[in-house]
Copies of this chain bind each other. A is one copy, B any other.
Amino acid sequence: MTAYAELSAHFGRVAALSNAIGILQWDNDAMMPRGAAGTRAESMALLHVMRHGMVTEPRIGDWLAAAEAADGLGDWERANLREIRRVWSVETALPADLVEASSKAVSACEMRWRQARAEADFAGLLPYLAEVLKLQREIGRAKGEKLGLSTYDALLNDYEPGGRSDRIDALFDDLAGFLPGFTQEALAVQARRPAAPAPQGPFEVEAQRKLGLSMMATLGYDFERGRLDISTHPFCGGADNDVRITTRYDESDFTKALMGVLHETGHALYEQGRPQAWMSQPVGQARGMSLHESQSLLIEMQACRSREFIGFAAPLMRDAFGGTGPAWETEALWRNATRVKPGFIRVDADEVTYPAHVILRYRLEKALIADAMPLSELPAAWNALMRDLLGIVPPDDRLGCLQDVHWPSGGWGYFPTYTLGAMTAAQVFDAACRAEPEILPAIGRGDFAPLVGWLRANIHSQGSLFETDELLTRATGRPLDAAVFKAHLRQRYGKAD
């Protein structure tokens, strides 16, 4: 066997283990009875340690050196070696005891966080969160030393390979300068229009579920390789060729579950569209979290909050719930789907105000990782930034710095990918619609084939063949900037020129 073949077989086994972990995580979040939590934690910890052992095997270094020196490999194989070296470099930077300590600190902190959030008790969470933060710094430092990156960039790099905070700073400063003023403009435009009544429930869960399933089918989701279930926090997970999404149903507002299903279907289309021949190799994986979020937001925000889509979906919504009257007119449904309303909670935010929530978290986590701010000052710093960026101040930390699980669960460096994803979504959708002018008219007829076909060819099927910048340049003509996203917001929410 050649060194490359050894690596490919080894990382095929890593994928087999990762796929097992993926299904167990899905089960944990969507199916598991409460009393099984302790048993499951033992299994997950064991499998994570096994995976760490597999991707840090000393033989990998020898195989990599030999394979990289060999002739005759194609582009995909070369890119696979690059991705394997990336994973191996990052994982071997971490001593096993740091992996274990972090896993335990995160379990304890997540558990404490559920209570702290319910009681708006930041002080109670503080010692647990301080421990997680300390270990995240150690992890970032260890990886950063190996990769020649700052501590924060080393953490970011896990979610956004090649991502760097100086570039994010520039992109986010651009947005942060634009958004406060633009939000006021959008609110003023909205206020001048007659009020759009919202459909009144209750909306039966089974009818919501059927509508969601029919929309998934419309988008081209492959039910032979996935399923739709319920969980407290909607997600897309599972395994290769087994891409499962979840949602939650609110009987008073069917649009939450519906838009959630469309969002997760965007993630799922990416996962189901990864190249089959490289499905279980590192080069066959999705190209980072900002690209992933771009695919969900492209479907949810760009495509499915368009007038064209709402025009197609309105009669289906009316049929699903027996809706009649002004609230069910297409224009009213569209206005409700694009309503701007500054609020405290990130996951409930609209397209215009969402970036402020992310920029705030990004700035705070960077300062905390750099030890430039004491953790105890987080609530005050959070509230000050909310006032600066959105003009509102949460009444307590439940609606403030305790709302998200990311920090307690060790996901430091993840937040910026949400807004990078929103900007990427705008840029990719714009490029797709220029290349295929039929895309939006077809969506108006419920035909997503032109859009999804373009995404398959230009994004999904490319896996991790290219780095993010090159993938985006090939697809849209240039690396990421804020211009198209701002133009999109102006066009949808701003005053007419």
Contact = CB atoms under 8 A, between A and B. Distances in A.
Nearest to A222: B35
A12 B41 CA distance: 13
What interface size band does chain A fall in?
A: 35 or more
Contacts of A39: 16, 19, 239-242, 280
Contacts of A13: 46
Contacts of A227: 31, 33
A224 B23 contact: no
B24 A20 contact: yes
A399 interface: no
Contacts of A38: 241
Nearest to A227: B33
A16 B242 contact: no
- Chain A interface, DSSP helix/strand/loop, else mixed: helix
Contacts of A35: 222, 224-225, 241-242
Contacts of A222: 35
A255 B13 CA distance: 45
A330 to B, nearest CB: 34
A226 B31 CA distance: 10
B40 A242 contact: yes
Interface string A77-109: 000000000000000000000000000000000
Contacts of A50: 50
A32 interface: yes
A2 to B, nearest CB: 21
Interface in A1-23: 12-13, 15-17, 19-20, 23
A137 B24 CA distance: 33
A33 B239 contact: no
A27 interface: yes
A20 B33 contact: no
Nearest to A45: B16
Given A36-B241, A36-B242, A39-B242, A47 B20 contact: yes
Contacts of A178: none
Contacts of A166: none
A42 interface: yes
Contacts of A214: none
A206 to B, nearest CB: 10
B242 A32 contact: yes
Contacts of A12: 42
A242 B20 contact: no
Given A32-B242, A35-B225, A42 B24 contact: no
A193 interface: no
Contacts of A46: 13, 16-17, 20
Nearest to A13: B46
A34 interface: yes
Nearest to A27: B23
Interface string A221-235: 011111100000000
A491 interface: no
21 contacts: A15-B42, A16-B43, A19-B39, A19-B40, A20-B20, A20-B43, A23-B24, A31-B31, A32-B242, A33-B225, A33-B227, A33-B242, A35-B222, A36-B225, A36-B241, A39-B240, A39-B241, A40-B239, A40-B242, A42-B280, A43-B239
Given A12-B42, A16-B45, A39-B241, 4 more contacts: A35-B242, A36-B225, A36-B241, A40-B242
Give 3 closest A-B pairs by Cβ, nearest first. Answer: A36-B242, A35-B225, A35-B224
